[in-house]
Structure 1
Amino acid sequence: MRSQSFPVHQWRVPVVLPVAKLVGAVVVLGLGLLFAGDDRVQPVLAGLAAAGLAGWGLRDLVAPVRLAADSDGITVAQGFAGHRRLSWPEVEAIRVDRRTRRGLTAETLEIDAGESLHLFGRYDLDAPPAEVAEALRAARAAGRRG
């Protein structure tokens, strides 16, 4: 039975990303066909790249929610468009990994569930990973109280 002490939070891919990926697929395919001339390999490569971008964009449209939390546990994206439910006792650690490379800092939310590690970037969550980590810790605390 779900506790009502903590509302369900969801983090999803920003709407602009799947649109950009699908537009990118059309542009790549169009440019590949436009500049192909007599070359038969270039349109095939452009088609493969476009298919990859389109599949990536479709995944974001089909399963935009990457992470959800309530007082009972979390639901994480798994596979192409699937989800996996983890209760709070299954979650061993919630960390934010910060790495600086070439003057840019990237943050990744890490959710360690023992035999599985779930990683989420800024564009998976449409929020800073540090903020999401704090919200997850609050949800976990609410689950312990409730």
Structure 2
Amino acid sequence: MVKLVGAAALAGLGLILHEGDRVQLALALVTAAGLAAWALRDLLAPVRLAADLDGVTVVHGFAGRRRLPWASVEAITVQRRTRFGLAAETLEIDAGESLHLFGRYDLDAPPDEVAETLRAARPG
């Protein structure tokens, strides 16, 4: 909801403050549309990753779902990268021919914790 409110506020500010500058108005509206699309994705597919005894379900594309049986999951790892002084952690699920990446905000939890939970949920 915060993203939708932000998109509306950005569009409103662009309309109010553009002072005849069409480029400024276009940039504000395009940015607001992008933020609204991001919010729509979160509303259509709020659960980005789910696991059960049979496998893992991941978001595929904008809001689709893809089922990965445990047999196709080759590795569950957490990658850590530091760039420009900022550290980022990414959960990687390697399913052979596809690699699925999830950040902290996709998971709503630290990637380390999610990786441990997935490893514990995996049979065998």
TM (normalized to structure 1)? Answer: 0.80
SS of equivalent residue, structure 1 residue 52:
helix
Aligned length: 124
| Structure 2 residue identity aligned to 1:137 | R
Corresponding position of 2:27: 45
Q: 2:56 aligns with which of 51, 74, 79?
A: 74
SS of equivalent residue, structure 1 residue 80:
coil
1:6-45 equivalences in 2 (<5 Å):
19-45=1-27
Corresponding position of 1:123: 105
| Structure 2 residue identity aligned to 1:128 | P
**Alignment gaps of 5+ in structure 2:** none
Q: Distance in 2 between matches of 1:103 and 1:40?
A: 37
| Structure 2 residue identity aligned to 1:83 | R
2:91 equivalent to 1:139:
no
**Alignment gaps of 5+ in structure 1:** 1-18
Question: Relative contact order: is structure 1 or structure 2 higher (C-alpha 8 Å, sep ≥ 6)?
Answer: 1
Q: Distance in 1 between matches of 2:110 and 2:21?
A: 45
Shift of 1:46: 1.4
| Structure 2 residue identity aligned to 1:61 | L
Corresponding position of 2:70: 88
Q: 1:113 aligns with which of 91, 95, 100?
A: 95
**Which stretches of structure 1, 4 residues or longer, exceed 4 Å deviation after superposition?**
none
Contact 1:33 1:42 in 2 (8 A): no
Q: Deviations over 1:6-58 (max 9, x none)?
A: xxxxxxxxxxxxx2211221121122112111222222221111111001101
2:37 equivalent to 1:55:
yes
Shift of 1:139: 0.9
TM (normalized to structure 2)? Answer: 0.94
Corresponding position of 1:14: none
